[in-house]
Amino acid sequence: MISGAEIMVKCLEAEGVSVVFGYPGAAICPFYDELLNSQIRHILVRQEQNSAHAASGYARASGKPGVCVATSGPGATNLITGIATAYMDSIPIIAITGQVRSDLLGRDVFQEADITGACEPFVKHSYLVNKTSDLPRVFKEAFHIASTGRPGPVLIDIPIDIQQKKIEEFVYPEKVDIIGYKPNTKCHPGQVKKAIELITSSSRPVIVAGGGVLSSGVKLKLVKFAEQTGIPVISTMMGIGVMPSDHELYLGMLGTYGKAAANRSLHQADLVIVCGARLGDRAVAAPDQMSENSKIIHIDIDPAEIGKNVKTTVPIVGDMKNIIDSLIEGTQDYHVSKLWSETLKGWKKELFRKPPVFEGYVEPRAFVGKLSSMLKSKAILVADVGQNQIWCANNFKIREGRFLTTGGMGTMGYSVPAAIGAKLARPTRDVVVVCGDGSFQMSLNELGTIAQNHINVKIIIMRNVRLGMVRELQDNLYGGRYSATFLDETLDFLKIAEAYGIDSAQANSNEEAEAIAEKMIKTDKPFILVCNVSPDTPSI
């Protein structure tokens, strides 16, 4: 005989899960008890939301679904923001929640919450398990759904009696067959042919690469395609890292907070090849104008994204990895015009602005740029949300590493827990957090997780004692009336670090910051670097 809880653990083992992030409670205790008999490592976070962010960071760094666990009621509802973040950013995570006894469901008993109902808009799929014997199928399906097609979070809600009940035997299914879920990953050959015709007859094409290129695992091939044809590449925020930042064909991030050269090329292009991007409002503020000026090829694994934000000339539904080879092959004799290449190079130079220097402060953009050359080539940078995100997106020079941030949801407090997940997935890589003093305080409780588990992540706090991005908005749109955007100046981050037993230092100039960073990178312990930044430093 085998209990539901034991089955849950065995399912995770069968899926090759080696680490889960979570927070226990009464309704998930049978699972936690069984976890003691397993090799699976459990990381106790300090609040459930962070277990979902950690699972997200883990998933993005490892390429496998991340797993987070919480109890019923408040534990489950705390997960929601983390699940919604993974949904908006298309990250595969499995969220497991305990639930009250199935015979008590709907009676508002202690710590009961309808979590499958509450999460409905934010999950790719969810299960409320009502039979122990369903568990193997549900887990198999959940991992399949989360990681195939357009990735996303799947929630499994399991009442405590289902975890306790024993059944005869455990058999993990080898295959899944979900009648309503057959993601189309093949790209239609006729459409691919049309796309190649459009590309080879265009004179000013540009590639817009999004997060889909990274989750498809084709970034090196995309670089090859760009190099062979000379087509310049711009990326969305989720697509940063598809190409080394200093590659001559890379024009930077597009959008409201993006690079001028990237935006200009998008508007001057006669053909835009959108790869795995949804072109949200922050990337393209006026999508109608875009399709007026140019033809658009849109490649996406999610058919609902095609035509949602921009009108498309040639839509292609499928996985980038099934089309990129055909694109490379079909465009062998094609190269963009010399004029277009030269124009872009010119823009890249002329539209580069040197950041102003504020005496007595760290200039964050210059420092982030410098930091990238100090880290190992495969370093993972995790940026939070706010001005720090834009400083990193535009100035961190990616080589072979990753840039993790929440570009879709924009959840403050994402960076520290996501970095914990990323470090556990990639223990040999440098994992560095850049956050603001506002976003840091949204998840500073996770210093407890970092200290307890000796997780070697470096945290750089850009301290301007403001909620910088909102303040900037108030400057630009609300006549400089600062409403609720000042933080407390007396807060001493170094003392907080000390309380958690984490080494720290602060810097008031770029020289100081660089000197501390140099030492920080060499240690194999977590470290907090507080950079005092002028409140007047703009986002771009």
What the block records as the tokens of 160 is 């405590």
Q: Closer CB to another protein, residue 304 or residue 473?
A: 304
In the complex, what is the shortest distance from the CB of residue 424 to another protein, in angstroms, rounded to a whole number?
A: 29
Residue burial 296-333, b: 16+ Cβ < 10 Å; e: rest: bbbbbbbeebbeebbebbbbbbbbbebbbeebbebbee
Task: State the nearest-atom distance from the C-beta of 184 to another protein, in Å.
Answer: 10
Q: How far apart are CA 323 and CA 532, in angstroms?
A: 47
Nearest to another protein of 107, 338 (CB atom)? 107
Q: Are strands 250-253 and 233-235 parallel, antiparallel or unpaired?
A: parallel
CA angle 270, 274, 278 (to 5 degrees): 130
387-395 helix and 468-477 helix, angle to the nearest 10 degrees: 100
Residue among 78, 60, 82, 64 nearest 23 (CA) = 78
CA distance 224 to 447: 41
| Nearest partner of 531 among 514, 511, 512, 506, judged by Cα | 506
| Least separation in angstroms between CB 86 and another protein | 16
Cα–Cα distance, 400 to 217 (Å, whole number): 13
In which residue are the tokens 């997960």 written? 79
Q: Which residue number, 116 or 539, has a Cβ lying nearer to another protein?
A: 116
Q: Between 178 and 220, whose beta carbon lies closer to another protein?
A: 178
Instruction: Say which DSSP state 201 is in.
Output: T
Residue 184 or 453 with smaller CB distance to another protein: 184
Residue 211: CB minimum distance to another protein, A: 17
In DSSP terms, 166 is beta-bridged to: 3
**CB atoms < 10 A from the CB of 93, how many?**
35
Looking at the Cβ atoms of 121 and 480, the one nearer to another protein is: 121
Radius of gyration of the chain (CA): 24
422: nearest Cα among 357, 378, 460, 388 = 378
Give me the least distance between CB of 261 and another protein, in Å please: 32
* Least spacing, CB of residue 47 vs another protein, in Å: 26
**Interacting residues with another protein (CB under 8 A):** 116-117, 120-121, 124-125, 128, 145, 178-181, 302-304, 307-308
- We find the least distance from the C-beta atom of residue 139 to another protein, in angstroms, to be 15
Which regions of 100-211 does DSSP assign to beta strands (E)?
A: 125-128, 154-159, 166-167, 205-209
Q: Report the candidate in 155, 175, 162 with the shortest Cα–Cα distance to residue 6.
A: 162
Minimal distance, residue 150 CB to another protein, in Å:
8
CB closer to another protein out of 302 and 475 = 302
Q: Residues 6 or more apart from 472 whose CB is under 8 A from it?
A: 387, 538, 539
Cβ-based nearer residue to another protein, 134 or 503: 134
Residue nearer to another protein on the CB measure, 304 or 357: 304
Greatest CA separation found in the chain?
Answer: 73
Residue 104 is given by DSSP the state: G
**Nearest approach, Cβ of residue 306 and another protein (Å):** 8
Q: Which is nearer to another protein, 188 or 308 (CB)?
A: 308
CB of 125 to another protein, least distance (A): 5
C-beta of 125 vs 165, nearer to another protein: 125
Q: Which is nearer to another protein, 41 or 182 (CB)?
A: 182
What is the per-residue DSSP string for 139-154?
Answer: HHHHHHHHHSSS---E
Question: Does residue 446 sit in helix, strand or coil?
Answer: helix
Whether 41 and 19 have beta carbons less than 8 Å apart is answered as: yes
State in angstroms the smallest separation of the CB of 421 from another protein: 26
CB of 124 to another protein, least distance (A): 8
- Rounded to whole angstroms, the Cα distance separating 194 from 312 reads 13
